[in-house]
Structure 1
Amino acid sequence: MIAVRRILFLVIAVFVTGCTSNVTRSTLSGDYKTLADKGQQTPELLSLPTNELWAYCQSFVKSRVFTPIDGCFNELDKRFKDADDTLLYMVQGWFDTQFIAPGAFGEGMLTELKLETAMARGNIKNTESLANSLYNLTTTYAYPLAVTNTDYAERYPQIAGYDESGYSNIYRLKHQVLALGMLGLMAARNNEPELASRYASEIAAIDASSTNAAQWRLPQAKALWLGRIYLTLGDFEKAYQASIIEKNAMYEFLDGLTTALDVIGPIMYAAMVDAYGDTDYKTALNFTAEFEPRFMRHQAELETGRLAAAQEGYQAIINEPKVKGFGTVYWQALYGLGRIADLQGNNSQAINYYQRAIEVIERQRKSMDTEAGRIGFVNDKQAVYGDMVSLLVKEQRFNEAYNYVERAKARALVDLLATKQRFGSQLPPAAEQALTSLQSIEQQALVNDSGITNEATRGIAVQLKAIEQTTPQLASLLTVSPPSLSSIQNRLGKQETLLLYFFSQGRQPELFAFVVTASSIAVHSQPLPALEESITALRDAINRGDGDAWQKEAAQLYSHLIAPVANKLNAAGTLTVVPHGALHYLPFTILTAPDGRLLGEQFNLRLLPAASVLQFVDEKVAGEQLLALANPDLNAPELDLPGAQREAHQISKLWPQSQIYSRTQASESLLKQQSANFQIIHLASHGVFNPDAPLQSRLFLAADAANDGMLTVPEIYDLNLDANLVVLSACETGLGDISAGDDLVGLNRGFLFAGANGIVSSLWQVPDEATSYLMGRFYTYLQSEAPSSALAAAQQDTRALYPHPFYWAAFQLTGGQ
């Protein structure tokens, strides 16, 4: 009876037709990459039996091959609902028995896979929601497991039904550990140590003392998540001790499992031989069970200074042929070896390992076909880039360091758009054909064990060249490597300085400031100050709308961000700032020098989401025709902006070549029809950013029969503008939430891609009257000055009338002059 209980989870996963399939072999042996590669080339994937589809879905998640995952989940959800909330695991298998997971058990299994996917994608809010859902399932419902064969059910009632020590209840507890572990890990990452420790305590309190619990790996599941939480909290010795406990429990489980296989009789033994061969089945099962826990132990060894053990363990991991199927483990093992070499002073070896880890990360990111996935993917991977940049700067290899900064920063701008679906309707036929070929080559590279081959590299180069000839902007968005430093320097003006920031969250957290001119590059580094707290305090002081509390924070931020490089900025007339992370929220114009001068008084300022954007801006379009849509009718009086309407009519008097539309005429349809014909576009309406679905961020315009009035980011991409400037005179249209990977997606980026050279947008909601005055002054100066100097002058004029920065400092220029 105990032996059968031990082997049940294998029966559910394996025995479907009476002989063991390649799908089963790959799943049980942990060869997820082989299975993921096959799954991507299986047209009938979504028609396979549930257990095989489940195995493929699991392999995609483990290998971090994201393209097919959502289709898998949709199909599994459909089958679950179609079967009255029951997940069918086995049909006409051994013993002619069908195992099913009804109700909470089936839903828990589905949620488990979705939870791991959300975490891998960096979708923190979805991860938290799924973890809470899974925890609620485990604490509210029993986990019954049904067996349809009557004789079998009578022989093994503890399997067929529910009991406190049976398999289904242990699985319920494992789900509970998983949910608490995810919540604890997120709390630790969010710098909430008390909450993280509380979740760890709840995990520790779960009873794993029963025989079944040991056999079904509940003790090591507890220790695994405790270790992850402790590692993130920085309590490395606790993490190490947890890994030792986990190792002991793991081998106890494996001994019991393999003993069970030996004694259960010729049928099961023959099946395992069919799967692995007479001598290899124990080795295969041992690998699957211990691989990820083993990796966590080596992480703890590294953090506690047990470098020799960690190095030996990491090396064994990357030498394992199946390691590429464990997407997270592979790059982190390479990164771990890099950190050890870094600590030992072997810089060249460390750089090599860091480079290999980054290549793995960027290949995985390319497999994502969802925008939200790309946005959050690099969140927990910034440390690799940071340590690479830190080491390159230490070796005075500034050009290479700059390259990796650009690869780490603002990936939403690059990766978010790199899908055929987003561009198909706008591409010339030659570019569309080249893009299709390129995607095919890259997909093959993703499933190639050796990475991108020489032949594939040549093919990619040919297709990128073809795309570049027809659609150069798209070519840049498809290539991982950013433009060279020299090509960016060639685009800087003689009196322009590029100030690019980068936070390293690696081994030694640092703040880097790259100062780039047309002929030079310098880098300043310092220990990472508490910038987020200072920026939050500054924004809070500004939002109060009165008082001078903001001045202290503005002076402190100047001392961190500007003062260390001030002597390199003296010759600049225009300062082009490339923020990173929380700096996107910062109104740079009010940073205050010791002599009391604001940064906006010293320089004409503009911002870029990435230095690479310079290659698409600063090319002035001939013409000065202006299109203004102001105060659209949104069928909600509380959303009316009468000041915006007056503002638009004031602007029309300054610009003879202007067309002004308001109320019902200020429609989404009109913008789509007319925007390509104007060089300046002024939109005075409300805007909203959706951090959970960035491409659903939108501007609100008037609706009509053709359009709903909600201009989303994908629709902005499709506008095909030819504009020198887009002005978003609205509420908080510029920015949204910023992830650790700097993957900020604001409406301004959509307009940049659509063809605008520059965008003026706001960091916070500005009162209607002050905005109207500032915009009037801005357009007055714009008649004879560049956008950056026009905005600076308009802000100074507004400051004279409304002294507090709340009324004038929100607006900033992103993009071109």
Structure 2
Amino acid sequence: MNKILGLSLLLVFLGCSSVKLAKVPQSIDEGPLTQGEKEKIKSVLSRLNRKNLGPQKNSKNFELAKEFENNFKVELSDNLKYKMKKGNLQEVLPLIEKRIQNEKKPLIRWYILKEKVKLLIMLGNPALAEKITDEIRTLEKELFNFDLLGLSLRGEARLWLHDYENAKRDFLKIVSVLDKWKLPTSYMGPPTNLKELVAMSSAQIRAYVGLCVLNVLTDNFKEAKLWGILARERINNVNFVAHHSLYGKFVKVPYDVVYGEAINTTFLGAAILGSGNENNLSEKYFDLAKTYFTQLNFPLGISTTLAVKAYVLYKLNKFDESEKIADEMFHFAKESGLPNLIWRVEALRGELYLKRGHKDRALKAFLRAHKSVNAISGVLKSDHSKLRFGLGKEGIIKNILKILKEKRKTNKIVKILEESRGRSFSDMLADTEIKEVNNHPLGKKIVDINKKLKKLMLNSTLFNFEKGNNEIKKDQLLKQKENYLNELKKVNPELLKYFYEKSNLSINKIQNHLKVGQVLVYEIPTFSNENMNYLIISKNKSKLINLGLSQDELKEILFSFTDAIAFNDIKEQNKIASILRSKLQIKKWNTPNSVYFLPSGFSYFIPWGILSLKFPLSILPKANWIFDSKNKDYKNKVVLLGDPEFGGLFKKLPGAKKEINSLSKLYNKKGLLGKEATLRGLKKKIKGGTKVLHLATHGKFNPSDPMKSAIILSDGKKALHFYAKDIINSKLKARTVILSACETGMGKTLAGDDFLGLSRSFYLSGTRSLLSSLWPVSDKGTLFFMEEFHKALQKNSLGDSWLKAIEKTKNQGYPPEVYGAFILGGEL
């Protein structure tokens, strides 16, 4: 009888049916939350079941799904499926890239792109992940008539980018749209709309977990607790279906659901701890999270649990307890072979000491963190540790400098600044192939060691990590790298600019290279709400000055200036110029003849030309730039290029054509225009070197990946991108490069305050000086400025020519937005 009943139930179960989904609009309004959406969100939270808050271990002995096959019938290579299941994530990405290139089927392409975004976030590249979500959402609309999962993935990427406001809006939009819906836990048969069910449920869980994490990181522990409980309830539904004796036949638990459950358990424990009076309960959550991460072979997850716990205790002013957890993290990192965790633990210790007023101990901890970061420079380029650990690489430097500044240790300040600038640039180049380096035997060996270190560190932070002698391997590789760098310094010191190198720079060394009347101004990086400080070094003295101006205030002044440009408000532009000059305290700069300036943060975007300076000012990439002044022979006086043939891909530049024709007459030198404005033509013209290279064309700045910023040339028929990474390898022998194009001076400020954009790439290709623009300027204004600049350059230095061009343009009646757009870099 029981067998007959069981068979009958199985036959009923095997009948297919469609499960009711939430009513979701195909296109979600991405504007601010409406009142109706806010009410729905309140309603969701009000229905929360707060009973039985204790953690429930649902994923015991979970079975990892055969990722693509079970839920989506996606056929992939056995190699890719094996690596996905084993968690070899760093090896999966190139396989996925290859599959995406040839995949045309929307469902398969959508699914693979979705997996790519998850991997990119785990591998520390949320900026690229965010960009890919646009295509995911487009495909999702075609497939399901909604784009919820793509939106949730974008929210997660933004969370990792610390863009909390937009991440929160993405998550809350999903909450509002799905409203009362949740994954059903009983079925008449295998659902015919399983794909939609999985996508909708995944989006909802990601949104709830994201909101839990976000609220913990913004110290809103009570609300984080509510979202964490909601996420747990939804995860419980997935686990119930997946482990059901019948339903489990068509639904398995993928690795990222267990990973999401572990993350939610961690941050729910943190939220409970932060809300107070439930320490024992929060401890149970932390222990359970460690169990999940252990099941996943994910040691970095365990360290995340410890770090989040330490962070909340720190916020609760329980410094002794927080320090105890930091010590536990340190020992765990050592035992588990997590080399990339050591510096984060030291940074956390430094914060704790600083909070308790132990500045000397804090400085030692931050310096140990700084040393550990420098050791792995050029290996891992991202710095997203702030999300998990509260303090990133940039914060370490700022805290060190803050303490040194109070102690007036100016030589140590210079040393730290130079090292952090070199390290940040080395990190940015981590994934860039440099021909000059690879063609040198020692350079190639250093690159190979960096690759091994990178793989070692990724293996120590991702799934399927095996404990062992990774710390020993890391130390051996770093020792080899140091030996090769020392050898390279002897035989080809020029190549060291591509690698991180310890600094032995001092104020005395800088002063020895400065001429009388020259001043070098170092901006000392500070936290955005703290007063900016300058270290001013002249031939015979140095001093620190406090500007009484924060980076936040500077940003507002600069934004006000761009607003004045947008509204063509010349009176306001002049008013802001006066305010900015006063705030920067230029009168205290030792009355210089010329200034080399090393900015930080938003200071890279100061339009120095509007400040009525009596001296030329140039932005330096590093202070030791002034030491490397080598006179080279240049065959050509000038090479001119402008208005390339874009083939309709970009707007034509008649003003650029007029500009090149005018300069051609001035120099009696034919320029490259239209179809002739090609990279091949440019290289041919510049062969043997040129004193001046003038490029009048479009410039394109890529904020998410500065190495993909580009100057737009032509291949003879259509536009050709001359990327920043290609500029480095091109080795254009041009002493001074003039970039008369939109946003060519723009770049990205890095942790450690290097600045990478087109300018840095030209420097590395051999350029000594640069003139570029901060924003687009009218054709007429650009033409006048450039004509006056080049006329002055016939008889004057670069710096004096810049000053004369500004003066002439201003006297001609042009507004600050014209003569202030152009900034100098490098040698004067």
Question: TM (normalized to structure 2)?
Answer: 0.70
Q: 1:115 aligns with which of 111, 121, 140?
A: 121
What secondary structure does 1:493 align onto?
Answer: coil
Q: Name the CA distance, whole Å, in 2 between partners of 1:662 and 1:814.
A: 26
Q: Would you say 1:208 and 2:264 are equivalent positions?
A: no
Q: Would you say 1:9 and 2:62 are equivalent positions?
A: yes
What secondary structure does 1:814 align onto?
Answer: strand
Amino acid at match of 1:661: L
After TM superposition, list the pairs within 5 Å mapping 1:398-413 onto structure 2: 398-409=410-421, 413=425
Q: Name the CA distance, whole Å, in 2 between partners of 1:224 and 1:712.
A: 42
Q: 1:57 aligns with which of 53, 76, 88?
A: 88
Q: Name the CA distance, whole Å, in 2 between partners of 1:703 and 1:511.
A: 46
> In structure 1, what is the equivalent of residue 518 of structure 2?
496
Contact 1:240 1:297 in 2 (8 A): no
> In structure 1, what is the equivalent of residue 711 of structure 2?
699
What secondary structure does 2:471 align onto?
Answer: coil
Amino acid at match of 1:625: K
What root-mean-square deviation, in Å, do the aligned CA atoms of Structure 1 and Structure 2 show? 5.0
Q: Would you say 1:770 and 2:781 are equivalent positions?
A: yes
Structure 1: unaligned runs, 5 residues or longer: 15-45, 61-67, 87-102, 146-155, 231-235, 259-280, 592-597
> In structure 2, what is the equivalent of residue 531 of structure 1?
554
Q: How has the CA–CA distance of structure 1 residues 248 and 700 changed in structure 2, closer, same or farther, with 3 Å as cutoff?
A: same
> In structure 1, what is the equivalent of residue 47 of structure 2?
none
Contact 1:716 1:754 in 2 (8 A): yes
Q: Name the CA distance, whole Å, in 1 between partners of 2:745 and 2:444.
A: 34
Please report how far the alpha carbon of residue 500 of structure 1 lies from its aligned counterpart in structure 2 after TM superposition.
1.9
Contact 2:644 2:676 in 1 (8 A): yes
Q: Name the CA distance, whole Å, in 1 between partners of 2:408 and 2:514.
A: 23
Moved more, 46-55 or 788-797: 46-55
> In structure 2, what is the equivalent of residue 647 of structure 1?
659
Please list the CA deviations of residues 548-584 of structure 1 after superposition, one character each: whole Å capped at 9, or x if unmatched.
1123333333343335xx43x2241111112222222
Please report how far the alpha carbon of residue 178 of structure 1 lies from its aligned counterpart in structure 2 after TM superposition.
4.0
> In structure 2, what is the equivalent of residue 687 of structure 1?
699
Q: Name the CA distance, whole Å, in 2 between partners of 1:183 and 1:417.
A: 34
Q: Name the CA distance, whole Å, in 1 between partners of 2:382 and 2:687.
A: 29
After TM superposition, list the pairs within 5 Å mapping 1:339-738 onto structure 2: 339-363=351-375, 366-368=378-380, 373-374=381-382, 380-409=392-421, 413-417=425-429, 422-424=433-435, 429-432=440-443, 435=446, 439=450, 448-449=470-471, 453=475, 459-469=480-490, 471-482=492-503, 484-485=505-506, 486-505=508-527, 509-525=530-546, 528=550, 529-563=552-586, 566-567=587-588, 569-591=589-611, 598=612, 600=613, 602-616=614-628, 619=631, 621=633, 625-636=637-648, 639-656=651-668, 658-677=669-688, 678-704=690-716, 709-736=720-747, 738=749
What secondary structure does 1:545 align onto?
Answer: coil
Q: How has the CA–CA distance of structure 1 residues 518 and 543 changed in structure 2, closer, same or farther, with 3 Å as cutoff?
A: farther
Q: Name the CA distance, whole Å, in 1 between partners of 2:301 and 2:643.
A: 62
Count of residue correspondences? 693
> In structure 1, what is the equivalent of residue 71 of structure 2?
none
Contact 2:793 2:801 in 1 (8 A): yes
Q: Name the CA distance, whole Å, in 1 between partners of 2:299 and 2:474.
A: 27
Q: How has the CA–CA distance of structure 1 residues 402 and 432 changed in structure 2, closer, same or farther, with 3 Å as cutoff?
A: closer
Contact 2:616 2:803 in 1 (8 A): yes
Contact 1:691 1:737 in 2 (8 A): yes
What secondary structure does 1:498 align onto?
Answer: strand
Q: How has the CA–CA distance of structure 1 residues 319 and 197 changed in structure 2, closer, same or farther, with 3 Å as cutoff?
A: closer
What secondary structure does 1:695 align onto?
Answer: helix
Please report how far the alpha carbon of residue 389 of structure 1 lies from its aligned counterpart in structure 2 after TM superposition.
1.2
Contact 1:618 1:757 in 2 (8 A): no
> In structure 2, what is the equivalent of residue 92 of structure 1?
none
Q: How has the CA–CA distance of structure 1 residues 669 and 407 changed in structure 2, closer, same or farther, with 3 Å as cutoff?
A: same
Contact 1:734 1:762 in 2 (8 A): yes
Please report how far the alpha carbon of residue 112 of structure 1 lies from its aligned counterpart in structure 2 after TM superposition.
3.7
What secondary structure does 2:429 align onto?
Answer: coil
What secondary structure does 1:718 align onto?
Answer: helix
Q: Would you say 1:247 and 2:283 are equivalent positions?
A: yes
Q: How has the CA–CA distance of structure 1 residues 54 and 666 changed in structure 2, closer, same or farther, with 3 Å as cutoff?
A: same
After TM superposition, list the pairs within 5 Å mapping 1:10-49 onto structure 2: none
Q: Name the CA distance, whole Å, in 1 between partners of 2:815 and 2:512.
A: 38
> In structure 1, what is the equivalent of residue 19 of structure 2?
none
Amino acid at match of 2:826: G
What secondary structure does 2:434 align onto?
Answer: helix
Q: How has the CA–CA distance of structure 1 residues 240 and 113 changed in structure 2, closer, same or farther, with 3 Å as cutoff?
A: farther
Amino acid at match of 2:505: S
Contact 1:496 1:574 in 2 (8 A): yes
Q: 2:344 aligns with which of 332, 352, 356?
A: 332
> In structure 1, what is the equivalent of residue 152 of structure 2?
135
> In structure 2, what is the equivalent of residue 750 of structure 1?
761
Q: Name the CA distance, whole Å, in 2 between partners of 1:207 and 1:793.
A: 67
What secondary structure does 1:294 align onto?
Answer: helix
Q: How has the CA–CA distance of structure 1 residues 534 and 714 changed in structure 2, closer, same or farther, with 3 Å as cutoff?
A: same
Please report how far the alpha carbon of residue 337 of structure 1 lies from its aligned counterpart in structure 2 after TM superposition.
1.0
Q: Name the CA distance, whole Å, in 2 between partners of 1:649 and 1:389.
A: 50
Amino acid at match of 2:773: S
Q: Name the CA distance, whole Å, in 2 between partners of 1:362 and 1:200.
A: 38
Please report how far the alpha carbon of residue 502 of structure 1 lies from its aligned counterpart in structure 2 after TM superposition.
3.4
Q: How has the CA–CA distance of structure 1 residues 503 and 184 changed in structure 2, closer, same or farther, with 3 Å as cutoff?
A: farther
Please report how far the alpha carbon of residue 681 of structure 1 lies from its aligned counterpart in structure 2 after TM superposition.
0.7
Q: How has the CA–CA distance of structure 1 residues 807 and 108 changed in structure 2, closer, same or farther, with 3 Å as cutoff?
A: closer
Q: Name the CA distance, whole Å, in 2 between partners of 1:252 and 1:431.
A: 48
Please report how far the alpha carbon of residue 381 of structure 1 lies from its aligned counterpart in structure 2 after TM superposition.
3.0
> In structure 2, what is the equivalent of residue 37 of structure 1?
none
Question: TM (normalized to structure 1)?
Answer: 0.71
Contact 2:516 2:539 in 1 (8 A): yes
Contact 2:338 2:471 in 1 (8 A): no
Q: How has the CA–CA distance of structure 1 residues 377 and 738 changed in structure 2, closer, same or farther, with 3 Å as cutoff?
A: farther
Contact 2:745 2:757 in 1 (8 A): yes
Please report how far the alpha carbon of residue 323 of structure 1 lies from its aligned counterpart in structure 2 after TM superposition.
6.7
> In structure 2, what is the equivalent of residue 71 of structure 1?
94
Please list the CA deviations of residues 606-637 of structure 1 after superposition, one character each: whole Å capped at 9, or x if unmatched.
11233344444574655661111122232349
Contact 1:430 1:470 in 2 (8 A): no
Contact 2:225 2:268 in 1 (8 A): yes
Contact 2:747 2:756 in 1 (8 A): yes
Structure 2: unaligned runs, 5 residues or longer: 1-55, 68-76, 137-147, 155-173, 241-257, 458-468
